[in-house]
Amino acid sequence: LNENHFLSCLVEFSKTSPAAVQVNVRDALNQAMDEELERDEKVFLLGEEVAQYDGAYKVSRGLWKKYGDKRIIDTPITEMGFAGIAVGAAFAGLRPICEFMTWNFSMQAIDQVINSAAKTYYMSAGAQPVPIVFRGPNGSSAGVAAQHSQCFAAWYGHCPGLKVVSPWNSEDARGLLKAAIRDNNPVVFLENELMYGVPFDLSEEVMHKDFVLPIGKAKVERQGTHITLVSHSRCVGFCLDAAAVLAKEGVECEVVNLRTIRPLDVETIEASVMKTGHLVTVEGGWPQYGVGAEICARIMEGPAFNYLDAPAVRVTGVDIPMPYAKILEDHSVPQIKDIIFTVKKVLNM
């Protein structure tokens, strides 16, 4: 099956009721890596504790037992070094998956991600592609405090030469990780630790070993007419929860799951805004210079602006380092009530 044919079949199949299996996000990622390791010998995984520990968050469970030392490599705690090694391996034709235990630790290695991976194809005028995936959990978790809770979507989303992907559910995780591994370019894959254990129904089609999702395409998770909610990662779930509550009051929200941060699927957002006339972005990251800021700027500059009946507004993480105490942490991230409150404000309810 080639991927285009497959995706066109998928559209048809989704109209029937296919056999569903419950898979949580962790297992979806695990299966995706397993299948891609089996499919292409050049794919390998490296990072801290990915092998004998089965992964710090168990995402790579069972892979070392199956594939061994050559393809699942435990690294010392030296991000800058092993990220550089991963990029060099990609230069020489392998297809590394480089795991950062969390994206916070990627700051130690960010030069390799940006200057060695993202920019090389351009600097070499196409002579040197870099087929690498950097992956790991991003954004806030639970009680891990300031140094372990930052969202990097905006930082990496800023840089040309990178593709930046942020899955929400198991279908996203599976399809986007397979696509990322098969992509011949550097992909920053932002997972979410709190989503790892969440199960979702996956259809037979999604479970097919060649199921991939297109990078750069958002998905409308819920159709609506009154207002557009655009989000990524865990916040998509909060938007759907808020939409369910609002529906009882007669407000129908359209929920757009970005799936990809870069390239941003502005067309899908515009089409939705042109339908609803109202826009709220929802993200876990900090507000200043963030994902929501970019979306609002693009809407201002494009055809959808003329359809807005109210200014576009962002719901974001609070602009502070993440505190530890539960009550403080709970108030540092967007909650469902914040989304509902904002929708009502924008709709002047």
Partner 1 sequence: RVLELTGCAASMVASSRSYADFTPEATFDIKKVDLHRLEEGPPLTATLTREEGLKYYRTMQTIRRMELKADQLYKQKIIRGFCHLYDGQEACAVGIEGGITLSDHLITAYRAHGYTLTRGGTVREIMAELTGRRGGIAKGKGGSMHMYTKNFYGGNGIVGAQVPLGAGVALACKYLGNDQLCVSLYGDGAANQGQIFETYNMSSLWKLPIIFICENNQYGMGTSVERSSASTEYYKRGDYIPGLRVDGMDVLCVREATKFAADHCRSGKGPILMELQTYRYHGHSMSDPGVSYRTREEIQEVRSKSDPISMLKDRMLSNNMASIEELKEIDIAVRKEIEDAAQFATTDPEPPLDDLCSHIFANDQPFEVRAATPWTKLTSTS
Which residues does the annotation mark as catalytic?
A: 79, 148
What's the Cα-to-Cα distance from 179 to each of 4, 54, 226, rounded to whole Å? 13, 23, 33
Task: Decide if residue 290 touches partner 1 (CB under 8 A).
Answer: no
For residues 21 and 174, is the Cβ–Cβ distance under 8 A? no
Token pair belonging to 246: 């609002």
Go through 224-246 and write b for each residue having 16 or more CB atoms within 10 A of its CB, e for each that does not: bebbbbbbbbbbbbbbbebbeeb
Report helix, strand and coil shares of the chain as percent, to nearest 5. Answer: 40, 15, 40
Report how many residues bind partner 1 under the rule CB under 8 A. 47
Task: Decide if residue 319 touches partner 1 (CB under 8 A).
Answer: no
Work out how close the CB of 238 gets to partner 1 at its nearest, in angstroms, rounded to a whole number. 29
Work out how close the CB of 133 gets to partner 1 at its nearest, in angstroms, rounded to a whole number. 14
Stretch that binds partner 1, among 55-63, 112-120, 142-150, 204-212 (CB under 8 A): 112-120
For residues 68 and 38, is the Cβ–Cβ distance under 8 A? no
285-289-292-297 Cα dihedral, nearest 10 degrees: 180
Query: Which residues, numbered 61-80, are part of the site for partner 1 (CB under 8 A)?
Result: 70, 73, 75-76, 78, 80
Task: Decide if residue 15 touches partner 1 (CB under 8 A).
Answer: no
- Whichever of 21 and 266 has its CB closer to partner 1, that residue is 266
- Whichever of 126 and 250 has its CB closer to partner 1, that residue is 126
Task: Decide if residue 121 touches partner 1 (CB under 8 A).
Answer: yes
Task: Report the phi/psi class of residue 187: left, alpha or beta, with left for phi > 0 and alpha for psi in -120 to 50.
Answer: beta
**Residue of 112, 170, 233, 268 that binds partner 1 (CB under 8 A):** 112
Token pair belonging to 305: 């602006």
Stretch that binds partner 1, among 56-64, 82-90, 201-209, 225-233 (CB under 8 A): 82-90
Stretch that binds partner 1, among 84-92, 237-245, 323-331, 338-346 (CB under 8 A): 84-92
Task: Decide if residue 128 touches partner 1 (CB under 8 A).
Answer: yes
Work out how close the CB of 52 gets to partner 1 at its nearest, in angstroms, rounded to a whole number. 14
Work out how close the CB of 247 gets to partner 1 at its nearest, in angstroms, rounded to a whole number. 35
Closest CA to 113 of 69, 152, 59, 72: 152
Work out how close the CB of 164 gets to partner 1 at its nearest, in angstroms, rounded to a whole number. 13
Query: Which residues, numbered 192-251, are part of the site for partner 1 (CB under 8 A)?
Result: 216
Task: Decide if residue 115 touches partner 1 (CB under 8 A).
Answer: yes
Q: Output the DSSP codes for 159-179.
A: -TT-EEE---SHHHHHHHHHH
Q: Quick check: helix, strand or coil at residue 280?
A: strand
Q: Provide the β-strand partners of residue 253.
A: 227
Q: Provide the β-strand partners of residue 230.
A: 256, 281
**Residue of 83, 218, 282, 339 that binds partner 1 (CB under 8 A):** 83
Q: Quick check: helix, strand or coil at residue 72?
A: strand
Task: Decide if residue 102 touches partner 1 (CB under 8 A).
Answer: no
Task: Decide if residue 301 touches partner 1 (CB under 8 A).
Answer: yes
Residues that bind partner 1 (CB under 8 A): 44, 70, 73, 75-76, 78, 80-94, 96, 111-112, 115-116, 120-131, 160-161, 163, 184-185, 216, 263, 301-302
